[in-house]
Amino acid sequence: MLLGCIGDDFTGSSDLANTLAKAGMRTVQYSGVPTGAADADVQAGVVALKSRSIAPADAVRQSLDALKWLQAQGCEQIFFKYCSTFDSTAQGNIGPVADALADALDAHKVIVCPAFPGAGRSVYQGYLFVKDALLNESGMENHPLTPMKDANLRRLMAAQSVHSVGHVPAEAVFDGAEAISARLDAEHAAGHRMIIVDALRDSDLMQIGAAAKGLPLITGGSGVALGLPANFGISPAQVPWQAQSGKAAILSGSCSTATRGQIAYHVARHPSLKIDPAEVISGSQTPEVVAKWLAETDGLPLAYSSADPDEVAAIQARFGADTAAHALEDFFGKTAVCLTEHGVSRILTAGGETSGAVVEALNIRTLEIGPEIDPGVPALRASDTLVIALKSGNFGSEDYFEKAANMLGGN
Ligand SMILES: Nc1ncnc2c1ncn2[C@@H]1O[C@H](COP(=O)(O)OP(=O)(O)OP(=O)(O)O)[C@@H](O)[C@H]1O
Ligand SMILES: O=C(O)[C@@H](O)C(=O)CO
């Protein structure tokens, strides 16, 4: 294994795996830290954790375990993948995990770059934009678990990391890899260890990737991985895919703006069932009943708890945010298990936490990476009889669910 990656959620990990697979690396996504050795032909291993919203000490411990396993597979470089919208709380977990990995790897110039232009996320003057809006005006300020109320990455990182935070501005990035390396050196000499790097275009990320050659640790969104495979002499390749026929169903616990748009589109055209969190918590709505409905309903049925910020706030005020989140994640995980018992062979999930809960409940250990459905979302094969697609909340076009079911099925 050449490149070892640690993802702080499952959809984000498949986003990164998608970038690396498209760039030609033989990539496998693992659910949690594997117990055995990786297959000898794997070039990039992505260990997916569900560590974005847990206690920082647990996130650090899990990430260091993942690091140890990746090092044992012979990795030459480590990539810590977090969200392109820098999803985190005042405590972390981006800062504490980056600090711990930097110490373990003796890394002193740590790139911090969440940019993902393909999904509209760019970094300029150290501020994070989502399309034409600052992060804190993009809808992310209403996220149910990690509301992002600031777009200043230097300030966000300084609050989470024990290290001084530097910056490589766009002017240096536009001048290419050598200028970026020189500026990273200068920021290091000035006493900064975590270094925010501006990036607006894929071409910027390619230059940042080239400048990252030989660095022990890189952190960021999937965009900054675009240029890494070339450092290992690997070039882009067509990603193979074996289509899967059979029944498809959709589970969505994502309350992000893009998912809510996709749900509105889907509800108008396909059978859909809205899940009431209060009924899930009381036990009057069960996974068995919802799975049976999904399995027996023609077309492309959807079950969703996704709701707008007012509804989410009301549920959180009534039950507590953690209780509601865990009850729904548990519900979707159990529903997915029942779906496979009904023979459903294509499962689409929306939302990072939701997807993590589903993959864990299904006890999927490794995921083979297929072709891209929409930017940041690959088709995934879980077994000989099951394929899935894990969509990050804000990814995908309006008709994403139809597109994903078709691509998984080879239509
Ligand atoms: N109606 C609801 N009320 C309160 N919480 C909800 C509701 N529906 C879903 N949730 C919870 O909100 C959280 C949504 O997070 P999730 O990561 O699944 O989606 P997302 O944030 O849109 O995706 P991503 O992290 O990929 O951007 C989950 O914990 C989910 O259980
Ligand atoms: O980087 C992103 O935006 C995604 O891969 C993600 O992590 C969302 O959960």
Report pLDDT digits (tens) over 257-267. Answer: 999 999 999 99
CB of 305 sitting under 6 A from ligand 1: yes
Q: Are the beta carbons of 302 and 266 closer than 8 angstroms?
A: yes
Ligand (nearest to CA of 113): 2
CA distance to 30, 96, 196, 356, per residue, from 69 (Å): 11, 19, 27, 20
259 lines ligand 1 (CB under 6 A): yes
Q: For residues 80 and 411, give the distance between their C-alpha atoms in angstroms, rounded to a whole number.
A: 34
Ligand nearest to the CA of 48: 2
pLDDT of amino acid 237: 87
Answer whether residue 145 shows pLDDT above 90.
no
Q: Which ligand is nearest to the CA of 274?
A: 1
Looking at residues 130-143, what average pLDDT do you find? 95
d(CA 279, CA 360): 23
Ligand 2 neighbour 352 (Cβ under 6 A): yes
From ligand 2's centre to the CA of 282, what distance in Å?
A: 31
103's CB contacts (< 8 A; 6+ apart) are none
Give nearest CA residue, ligand 1 atom 14: 254
pLDDT, tens only, 356-366: 999 999 999 99
Q: Which atom of ligand 2 is nearest to the CA of 7?
A: 7
Give per-residue pLDDT as tens, 250-291: 999 999 999 999 999 999 999 999 999 999 999 999 999 999
The domains found in the chain, sorted by start residue, are 3-231 (3.40.50.10840), 248-409 (3.40.980.20)
Q: Which residues contact 273 (CB under 8 A, 6 or more apart)?
A: 290, 293, 294, 301, 302, 303, 304
Indicate whether 149 pLDDT > 90.
yes
Indicate if ligand 1 lies below 6 Å from the C-beta of 4: no
State the pLDDT at residue 208. Answer: 98
- CA nearest neighbour of 313 among 327, 302, 324: 324
